[in-house]
């Protein structure tokens, strides 16, 4: 099973999402949707709730209220269907250290119920794209930080998901690999996939994304779009104002 679907499907919809920890409210009633083909920047200073939001979307963290839909599927009630729609690269990717790169990608493909032959071809293409061709036999625990991130990116892209969540995915990539990844993401967007991306490179997300979800202290949030987004692009920052 892959994430390929028609462009009429909403890749990600979040409604009324709320999450509170002991230290206080982190997310308070966040509502937004990713349209097919668009890229949205996830913005906010450290502790603003970016990782919490991504965790609630992927099903790793249970929200206190609200709902998430990935291609129409609830990640908490129907995790298998939701997983087929999403590709997630966390800031600190997790790989199975005792598996080789090739074995790890074979495991991911099997978990996604991909055709084995098609998965091998796509794995080879993506590894070559990201400069990892020849590293297939390397144990994941022996990979450098950059190589590990490239492996995680390959795993996230492998099944051609409709919703891509990238948390600092460009961090640690060499310039050529980063350019190749952005070109691949552009091609995926052209086919209807949507991207939610968090990055410290504000100039990049300002130029590449069409709007931005800015999180602030105490669960505050705002969607920057239209004139507000254009103003932010001229002077990008993470300060939250009412």
Alpha helices in the chain (DSSP H): 50-58, 79-83, 101-111, 116-129, 145-157, 175-190, 202-208, 227-234
Q: Which pLDDT band holds residue 186 (cuts at 50, 70, 90)? A: very high
For residue 23, pLDDT over 90 is answered with no
Tokens of 16: 């009324």
pLDDT confidence tier of residue 117, bands split at 50, 70 and 90: very high
Assigned token pair, 108: 């991911």
Q: Where are the beta strands (DSSP E) in the chain?
A: 12-21, 24-34, 39-43, 65-70, 86-89, 163-167, 194-198, 211-215, 221-224
Beta bridge partners of 89: 166
Domains and CATH numbers, the chain: 10-85+161-242 (3.40.50.300), 96-160 (no CATH)
pLDDT of 46 higher than 70: yes
Residue 123 has pLDDT above 90, yes or no: yes
pLDDT of residue 242: 59
Return the pLDDT at 4.
Answer: 44
- In order of 41, 63, 83, 225, the CA distances from 194 in angstroms are 11, 22, 15, 16
- pLDDT of 5 above 70: no
* Selected residue with higher pLDDT from 167 and 5: 167
Provide the token pair at 72. Answer: 């129409």
- The token pair that represents 79 in the structure block: 């995790």
Instruction: Give the residue carrying structure tokens 């994304």.
Output: 209
Between the CA of residue 127 and those of 21, 76, 101, 152, 199, what are the distances in Å? 39, 31, 10, 11, 22
Give the mean pLDDT of the chain.
93
Confidence of residue 2 (pLDDT cuts 50, 70, 90): very low
Contact 119, 168 (CB under 8 A): no
Give mean pLDDT, residues 192-198. 97
- Global pTM reads 0.93
Percent of the chain's residues with pLDDT above 70: 96
The enclosing H or E element of 128 equals helix 116-129
């Amino acid at each position: 099973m892959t994430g390929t679907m028609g462009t009429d499907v909403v890749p990600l919809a979040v409604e009324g999402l709320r999450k509170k920890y002991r230290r206080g409210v982190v997310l308070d009633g966040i509502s937004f949707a990713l349209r097919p083909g668009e890229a949205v920047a996830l913005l906010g200073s450290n502790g603003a709730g970016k990782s919490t939001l991504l965790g609630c979307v992927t099903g790793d963290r249970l929200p206190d209220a609200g709902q998430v839909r990935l291609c129409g599927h609830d990640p908490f009630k129907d995790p298998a269907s939701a997983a087929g729609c999403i590709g997630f690269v966390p800031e600190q990717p997790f790989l199975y250290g005792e598996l080789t790169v090739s074995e790890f990608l074979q495991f991911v493909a099997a978990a996604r119920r991909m055709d084995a032959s098609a998965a091998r071809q796509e794995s080879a293409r993506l590894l070559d794209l990201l400069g990892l061709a020849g590293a297939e036999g390397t144990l994941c625990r022996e990979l450098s930080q950059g190589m590990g991130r490239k492996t995680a990116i390959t795993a996230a892209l492998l099944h051609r998901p409709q919703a891509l969540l990238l948390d600092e995915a460009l961090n640690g990539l060499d310039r050529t690999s980063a350019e190749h990844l952005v070109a691949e993401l552009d091609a995926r967007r052209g086919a209807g996939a949507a991207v939610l991306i968090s990055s410290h490179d504000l100039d990049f997300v300002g130029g590449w994304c069409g709007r931005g979800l800015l999180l602030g202290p105490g669960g505050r949030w705002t969607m920057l779009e239209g004139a507000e987004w254009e103003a932010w692009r001229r002077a990008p920052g993470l300060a939250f104002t009412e």
